[in-house]
Amino acid sequence: MANRIHNFSAGPATLPLPVLEQARDELLSLPGIGMSVMEISHRSREFEAILARAESGIRRVLNVPENYAILFLQGGASLQFSMVPLNLAIEGKPVDLIQTGAWTQKAHKEIKKICPVNIAASTESENFMRLPTKEEIKLDPNAAFVYMCSNNTIFGTEWSWFPETGNIPLVADMSSDILSRELDVAKFGLIFAGAQKNLGPSGVTLVIIRKDLAERASDTLPTMLQYRTHIKENSLYNTPPTFGIYILALVVEWLEKMGGLPVIQKRNQEKAAVLYNAIDSSDFFYCPVNKADRSLMNVVFRIKGDNEELEKKFVKEAEAAGLSGLKGHRSVGGLRASIYNACEPSSVQALVDFMKDFAKKNS
């Protein structure tokens, strides 16, 4: 096997080894086709079969209801910050946004270019180290939609419940926790996720949209920016990111072989528990995130005293020991281990062992 190290990158992130191996084996020639997946027409029967595998795989594992479309788009999660309001805004109505970190702030910046935004709750004054409580969220009954981010990749918080929004569509950026746990899709009007954390390579964005919501958009909206276009053309209006969709199909099939969402959720809970327990029981490291809101995907931690020099040393020595990607996001500093679906429990154990050793040597 190739010399692979422990990868804790926040994204693009580690992929399941069996997926990479299959992609390698099929790179020059898809079985029975004699060409690489990168060399065939997106309108060929062969590619349509791959697209159907990706779509039906997502529909099966997430149990996506029939009245929802599954789309594979481009432009990253960031383009959805604009596409969502361009398609879902309603003249004269505000949007409710729950402000929980850098990604909702970026979305806020784009949504308010299109329509008025009401901040329904925000934990900014507490540096986003916790999520709002039910009581703190003030929803406007007249809102066009409610916008939130299910897992805050940078600050390390993750929602364990979702706000009840009644007839108002709930929109969620799930870029960093999609397919990491069981989910009731019917609670949402629209879910989107850049693929590069839990689904595959960068360049593909998954959108799951209740089909009737796509009808809100004006015909004057550029064709490529209308969800309607992509629903009608089954993500084949123009050339989609074919290689990324192929890898995504393999990732979803890998997940199903693992046992699907209940099994991966349990594995993710166990991995996170090992890491948080090691941090909480240490007198060298600490986790600044509110316990009830801690992410199972992005574990944010620091060295006590917020000693930046020592944190730098930690990242450097970890790298040398084969543990990569542990530097916190440049906007918050500190340390972060991203332990997405494809991160093996043995990698988490290797990290915990390294942390204990580092603490002993540097206390």
Q: Which residues are catalytic?
A: 103, 173, 197
Pick 22 or 78: Cβ nearer ligand PLP: 78
What are the angstrom distances between the C-alpha of 326 and each of 41, 127, 128, 312? 40, 21, 20, 10
Name the residue whose CB lies closest to ligand PLP. Answer: 76
Q: Does 76 bind ligand PLP (CB under 6 A)?
A: yes
Q: Does 68 bind ligand PLP (CB under 6 A)?
A: no
Listing DSSP states for 198-212 in one string gives TTSSTT-EEEEEEGG
Q: Does 349 bind ligand PLP (CB under 6 A)?
A: no
What are the angstrom distances between the C-alpha of 161 and each of 85, 110, 276? 24, 26, 20
User: Which residues neighbour 344 within 8 Å (Cβ) at sequence distance 6 or greater?
Assistant: none
Q: Does 103 bind ligand PLP (CB under 6 A)?
A: yes
User: Which residues neighbour 251 within 8 Å (Cβ) at sequence distance 6 or greater?
Assistant: 15, 16, 19, 199, 200, 342
Binding residue (CB under 6 A) for ligand PLP from 70, 77, 117, 179: 77
Hey, which residues does 71 pair with through a beta bridge? 207
Q: Does 173 bind ligand PLP (CB under 6 A)?
A: yes
Determine the distance from the C-alpha atom of residue 244 to the mean position of all C-alpha atoms in its chain, rounded to a whole number.
15
Pick 303 or 327: Cβ nearer ligand PLP: 327
Q: Does 295 bind ligand PLP (CB under 6 A)?
A: no
**Alpha-carbon distance 307 to 37, whole Å?**
48
Q: Does 191 bind ligand PLP (CB under 6 A)?
A: no
Q: Work out how close the CB of 101 gets to ligand PLP at its nearest, in angstroms, rounded to a whole number.
A: 8
Q: Work out how close the CB of 78 gets to ligand PLP at its nearest, in angstroms, rounded to a whole number.
A: 3
Q: Work out how close the CB of 52 gets to ligand PLP at its nearest, in angstroms, rounded to a whole number.
A: 24
Q: Work out how close the CB of 176 gets to ligand PLP at its nearest, in angstroms, rounded to a whole number.
A: 4
Binding residue (CB under 6 A) for ligand PLP from 14, 87, 123, 176: 176
Residue whose structure tokens are 């993500």? 235
Q: Does 11 bind ligand PLP (CB under 6 A)?
A: yes
**Alpha-carbon distance 296 to 339, whole Å?**
7
Q: Does 116 bind ligand PLP (CB under 6 A)?
A: no
DSSP 3-state assignment of 61?
helix
Looking at residue 132, the DSSP 8-state letter turns out to be P
Binding residue (CB under 6 A) for ligand PLP from 54, 149, 264, 337: 149
Pick 33 or 224: Cβ nearer ligand PLP: 224
**Alpha-carbon distance 180 to 192, whole Å?**
14
> Which span sits near ligand PLP by CB under 6 A: 36-44, 76-84, 258-266, 355-363?
76-84
Pick 55 or 158: Cβ nearer ligand PLP: 158
Q: Does 153 bind ligand PLP (CB under 6 A)?
A: yes
DSSP 3-state assignment of 327?
strand
Applying CB under 6 A, the site for ligand PLP has a residue count of 12
Pick 121 or 149: Cβ nearer ligand PLP: 149
Residue 209 and residue 226 in contact, taking contact as beta carbons nearer than 8 Å: no
Q: Work out how close the CB of 172 gets to ligand PLP at its nearest, in angstroms, rounded to a whole number.
A: 10
Question: Is the CA virtual torsion 255, 259, 265, 269 positive or negative?
Answer: negative
Sites of contact with ligand PLP (CB under 6 A): 11, 76-78, 103, 149, 153, 173, 175-176, 194, 197
